[in-house]
Amino acid sequence: MRVTLLQAYELLINGDVVAVPTETVYGLAASLNRPSAIDRIFQLKGRPQNNPLIIHLSHVSQVSSYVNQYPPDFEALASTFWPGALTLVMPIIAEKIPASVRAHLPTAAFRIPQHPLSQKLISQTGPLVMPSANLSGKPSSTHWKHVTDDFGADFPILDGGICSKGVESTILFYQEERWSIIRLGAIVPSAFLPILGYEPQIEKPKNGEAPLCPGQMYRHYAPKAKLVMAKTFPIDGKGVIIGFSDRKYPSGYRVLNLGKTSDPNTSVKKLYSVLRQLDVEGIVTAEVDIDFPQEGLWLTLAERLWKASTQGVVA
């Protein structure tokens, strides 16, 4: 059920949960000051308690009430990329943030979203926690209808149109005197070079160790359909391909297209809709054309596809 900005505000300050648009993906929002609403987010999503939430702010000065000290380059990162698709994980003053939000970690994640509706809303409500507005493990929502598909027709949603980025924020974490990327996202690693003087390393979970980004432990973004990664397609093959509009595929295939091979922005923006489309149509298996460069935003696309695939095997 679509609600107005005023209704969204009233629901949130009264301790309800509302779906809110951001430029990355829709979020399931609760006020940081409403513990029961925060608990409800975990229940609604079926989200494990050990997966912390991002705190969304409307102004950078708000961070100062949660941290003792900014890590190096925090101000430069914030002034360059906020509002926007960057999340920064920092050590915090633990008692200032509910343990459920930070999953009992000594750190918390912060972001200032850019979407005008989320900005306006947060400036009225104060800090909101917002995980992506999808059932845990499923593809994220980039349109209000996706939220309805997951949480029902009566669930309150602030309609902000199609998310302009369509993929989650990039998450940076400061450790051992450097920022590193603990989740790939809408901002590419090279964008940080001019600000930091180095390109942050992409952290991969190490064998047997808990990942720095707890969400990386779980299968994610996954449709019911089995996804099979492929670079070639037999001439007599048939079925469904998630592919590109400027490529020719054998005639037996139906193609769900992610846009052109020259335009990764469009491909990441369309990804979750296409993955959700598979389930709407009850498609059991889809092949995915992964013949694209392993760089820039394509890396984010590759990572999402990898996590969404049942078996994660490149064929």
Partner that binds at residue 52, options ligand TXA, Mg ion, none, CB closer than 5 to 8 Å by kind: ligand TXA
β-sheet bridge partners, residue 242 = 256, 288
Say which amino acid occupies 8: A
Which of positions 194-233 make contact with ligand TXA (CB under 6 A)? 212-215
Contact 223, 279 (CB under 8 A): yes
Measured distance CA(301)–CA(270) in Å, rounded: 10
Measured distance CA(180)–CA(164) in Å, rounded: 25
Name the one range near ligand TXA by CB under 6 A: 103-111, 193-201, 267-275, 282-290.
103-111
Least distance (Å) between residue 130 CB and Mg ion: 10
Residue 132 makes contact with Mg ion by CB under 5 A: yes
Indicate the DSSP class of residue 314: B
Of 60, 83, 59, 297, nearest in space to 191 by CA: 297
Partner that binds at residue 109, options ligand TXA, Mg ion, none, CB closer than 5 to 8 Å by kind: ligand TXA
Measured distance CA(109)–CA(174) in Å, rounded: 11
Partner that binds at residue 171, options Mg ion, ligand TXA, none, CB closer than 5 to 8 Å by kind: ligand TXA
Residue 142 makes contact with ligand TXA by CB under 6 A: no
Least distance (Å) between residue 21 CB and ligand TXA: 9
How do 170-175 and 86-91 pair as beta strands? parallel
Residue 112 makes contact with ligand TXA by CB under 6 A: no
Cis amide prior to 35 (ω within 30 degrees): no
Helical (H) or strand (E) element with 28: strand 27-31
- Residue closer to ligand TXA by CB (options 28, 240) is 28
Measured distance CA(183)–CA(307) in Å, rounded: 12
Residue 138 makes contact with ligand TXA by CB under 6 A: no
Least distance (Å) between residue 307 CB and Mg ion: 11
Residue 160 makes contact with ligand TXA by CB under 6 A: no
Least distance (Å) between residue 51 CB and ligand TXA: 5
How do 157-158 and 2-3 pair as beta strands? parallel
Binds ligand TXA by CB under 6 A, chosen from 87, 125, 141, 273? 87
β-sheet bridge partners, residue 181 = 172, 202
- Residue closer to Mg ion by CB (options 132, 216) is 132
Helix (H, G, I), strand (E, B) or coil at 12: helix
CB-count burial class (<10 Å; 0-12, 13-18, 19+) for 58:
buried
Residue of closest CB approach to ligand TXA: 215
Name the one range near ligand TXA by CB under 6 A: 59-67, 71-79, 163-171, 271-279.
163-171
Measured distance CA(144)–CA(163) in Å, rounded: 10
Least distance (Å) between residue 249 CB and ligand TXA: 32
Draw the binding track, 24-43, toward ligand TXA (x: CB under 6 A; -: no contact). xx-x----------------
- Residue closer to Mg ion by CB (options 19, 228) is 19
Partner that binds at residue 51, options Mg ion, ligand TXA, none, CB closer than 5 to 8 Å by kind: ligand TXA
Of 148, 190, 141, nearest in space to 168 by CA: 141
Residue 273 makes contact with Mg ion by CB under 5 A: no
Contact 305, 315 (CB under 8 A): no
Given the rule CB under 6 A, which residues bind ligand TXA?
Answer: 22, 24-25, 27, 51-54, 87, 89, 102, 105, 107-109, 111, 113, 130-132, 168-169, 171, 183, 212-215
Given the rule CB under 5 A, which residues bind Mg ion?
Answer: 132
